[in-house]
Amino acid sequence: MERSEGVSDKALNIQKSYQSSNSMGTLYLVATPIGNLEDMTFRAIRTLKEVDWIAAEDTRQTRKLLTHYEIPTRMVSYHEHNKLHSGTELVRLLLTGQSIALVSDAGLPAISDPGYELVKLAIADNIPVVPIPGANAALSALIVSGLPTDRFTFAGFLPRDKKHLQQALEKLATREETLIFYESPHRVAKTLTAMETIWGNREIVLARELTKRYEEMVRGTIADARLFLENHPPLGEYCLVVGGYVQTQAQLDADNAWWADLTVHEHTEHYENLGVDPKEAIKKTAIDRGVPKREVYNELHRT
């Protein structure tokens, strides 16, 4: 690793992955199968055999993979609950010249797990971080979804509690790109209900058990998918691929309306200035905007 002395005040951290010195080790981020063991790459197997240590999210799960491919490399535990202590120790080993492969239970490490924090620690000490790509559930679900793949957002796991779930979905409500989420079988039905309530009835794909024997893709609308789960109890981990926001003609017309740039207060004041009484002004504003009168009233009286 080296630091650039360019014209910018902020120095760049430049890594030349295969020109590093022998004074420190390399942190490899190694993808593992998301279900089918045959998705392991030749490079991933070789890397796991050559490094000094394998840092695993769940050593019991990773031991099955290592046994299958006859990989004898020593393992250490690195997960959400020990990341502070274990991360510091792993960096110490890397600084002494020992190389480490970081793996998660399935797929790419540092995606929806604490691996990114270890990456940050390594980069801070100019330790080379090298990706060993492979299987990934989100991208696998996306490419078979039939939904647009030119632009997408991976949002990972949504919040568990109702309030924060609603806030997260509201923030994503007008995103036009395809959206990707991970969800557990215990929560997927509630998540679909919340999506339909806040977003409306969009296109969706429920992908489960990817690359495994019972791999299944359910394609349709959110309402259809929700009804499907009522008759087919959720099993296995899910990847949800949801169509982005699409403006209706009514919404496009509203954007071009004479009042489009007015706040709700300004909108009602416009009618009142024309001699319309306040209640009627609220009613007319609500009709213009295509919302309930109560919504306009609440906005006007919000402190």
* Tens-place pLDDT, residues 64-120: 999 999 999 999 999 988 888 899 999 999 999 999 999 999 999 999 888 999 999
Domain match, 183 and 235 both: yes
Domain match, 109 and 161 both: no
Task: Place 2 in a pLDDT band, splitting at 50, 70 and 90.
Answer: low
Domain that holds residue 255: 249-300
Residue 231 in contact with residue 189, Cβ under 8 Å? Answer: no
Domain match, 76 and 191 both: no
Q: Considering only CA atoms, which of 241, 172, 231, 159 is closest in space to residue 206?
A: 241
What is the pLDDT, as a whole number, of residue 254?
A: 67
Task: Give the CATH number of the domain where residue 206 resides.
Answer: 3.30.950.10
User: pTM to 2 decimals?
Assistant: 0.78
Residue 103 in contact with residue 51, Cβ under 8 Å? Answer: no
Q: Considering only CA atoms, which of 238, 232, 103 is closest in space to residue 158?
A: 238
Domain match, 188 and 272 both: no
Domain match, 235 and 257 both: no
Note the helical H segments in the chain. Answer: 42-50, 59-68, 83-95, 115-124, 137-145, 162-172, 188-199, 222-231, 249-255, 264-273, 278-289, 293-300
Domain match, 165 and 253 both: no
Total tally of structural domains belonging to the chain: 3
Domain boundary residue, one of 113, 135, 157:
135
Domain match, 39 and 109 both: yes
Residue 182 in contact with residue 156, Cβ under 8 Å? Answer: yes
What three-state secondary structure class fits 230? helix
Q: Which of 38-42, 99-103, 148-152, 257-261 has the lowest mean pLDDT?
A: 257-261
Domain boundary residue, one of 85, 101, 135:
135
Domain match, 8 and 126 both: yes
| Alpha carbon separation from 250 to 247, 253, 286 (Å, rounded) | 8, 5, 14
- Residue-wise burial string across 29-61, b where 16 or more C-beta atoms lie within 10 A, e elsewhere: bbbbbbbeeebbbeebbebbeebebbbbbeeee
Q: Assign residue 55 a region (left: φ > 0; alpha: ψ between -120 and 50; beta: otherwise).
A: beta
User: What average pLDDT does the segment 8-30 reach?
Assistant: 81
Q: Which residues contact 229 (CB under 8 A, 6 or more apart)?
A: 188, 189, 192, 206
Six-digit token pair at 37? 């063991």
Residue 286 pLDDT exceeds 90: no
Residue 289 in contact with residue 267, Cβ under 8 Å? Answer: yes
Domain match, 80 and 128 both: yes
Give me the percent of the chain exceeding a pLDDT of 70: 93
Residue 211 in contact with residue 34, Cβ under 8 Å? Answer: yes
Domain match, 274 and 222 both: no
Domain match, 155 and 226 both: yes
Residue 274 pLDDT exceeds 90: no
66 vs 1: CA distance, rounded Å: 31
User: What average pLDDT does the segment 8-19 reach?
Assistant: 77
User: What average pLDDT does the segment 172-184 reach?
Assistant: 95
Domain boundary residue, one of 135, 167, 192:
135
Domain match, 233 and 260 both: no
